[in-house]
Amino acid sequence: MERHVLVAFPHPDDEAFGVAGTIIHYTQAGVPVTYACGTLGEMGRNMGQPFFANRETLPEVRKKELQNACKVMGIQDLRMMGLRDKTIEFEDEEAIADKLYAVIQETKPSLVITFYPGYAVHPDHDAYGAAMIKALMRLPENERPTIHCKAFSKNCEDFIGKPDVINDVADVLDQKLDTIRAHKSQTEANFKVWDEKIVAQDAELLNWLTKETFWTYKG
């Protein structure tokens, strides 16, 4: 079992679809989990119909959703890193790595979960993952935690192979769905399609939700 898990993603809700079940497994087993969330998703486009937010109120809405999601997952240590949505790739990478390195030094994780730089589609995902890897590479190899990366770009398997970690999270599916639901501003539309499929036990959707895949980063 892990000693401490550090999860690092740039947007509130990045953890929800592909990692929440894994996080819930750890928190249920009593493993402390720290979530270093880079931004508040300030540039999200969905304002609702009817509107629940505007460009200036959205960050506060998403912050509350993130805090609720952490409650559902049992995460007690949420760090909001104060970056701004859609700007991470333009920041000084060393400066972001410094911030993440400080969290690593403080929490001494045995496992880090982040995006696989170059294979995570959104520029913020790639940049935040790259900064995290940079911070981790500052540690001597024998002190470096295990690194599990998320990748989902088209054809990523041509470059990094198949995921070597597949966690079955079917036993905590309800809590995972509640985590996704907590990010209401981002996921309400998903559930319009999903609710029926979940009742009908749609195999494709359930398989996607209950199998969380990771690539162990080897450098």
159, HSE (Cβ side, Cα atoms, 13 Å) = 12
11 binds Zn ion (CB under 5 A): yes
| Sequential DSSP letters for 65-131 | HHHHHHHHHT--EEEE----TT-GGGS-HHHHHHHHHHHHHHH--SEEEEE-TTSSSSHHHHHHHHH
203, HSE (Cβ side, Cα atoms, 13 Å) = 0
Partner interacting with residue 11 (select from Zn ion, other proteins, none; CB below 5-8 Å by kind) = Zn ion
Q: How far apart are CA 15 and CA 61, in angstroms?
A: 17
Q: Judged by CB, which is closer to Zn ion: 122, or 181?
A: 122
Candidates 4, 31, 47, 202; binder of other proteins (CB under 8 A) is 47
Partner interacting with residue 14 (select from Zn ion, other proteins, none; CB below 5-8 Å by kind) = Zn ion
Write each residue from 190 to 219 as x if it is in contact with other proteins (CB under 8 A), else as -, in one continuous string. ------------------------------
Going by C-alpha positions, the residue among 162, 150, 146 that lies closest to residue 119 is 150
Distance in Å, CB of 131 to other proteins, minimum: 18
Q: With CB under 5 A, what is the number of residues at the site for Zn ion?
A: 2
189 binds other proteins (CB under 8 A): yes
Length of the chain: 219
Q: Judged by CB, which is closer to other proteins: 16, or 111?
A: 16
Distance in Å, CB of 127 to other proteins, minimum: 12
Structure tokens at 204: 């494709």
Q: With CB under 8 A, what is the number of residues at the site for other proteins?
A: 18
Q: Restricting to residues 117-146, which ones interact with other proteins according to CB under 8 A?
A: 121-123
Q: Give the residues lining the site for Zn ion (CB under 5 A).
A: 11, 14
Which stretches of the chain bind other proteins, using CB under 8 A?
Answer: 43, 45-51, 54-56, 86, 121-123, 153-154, 189
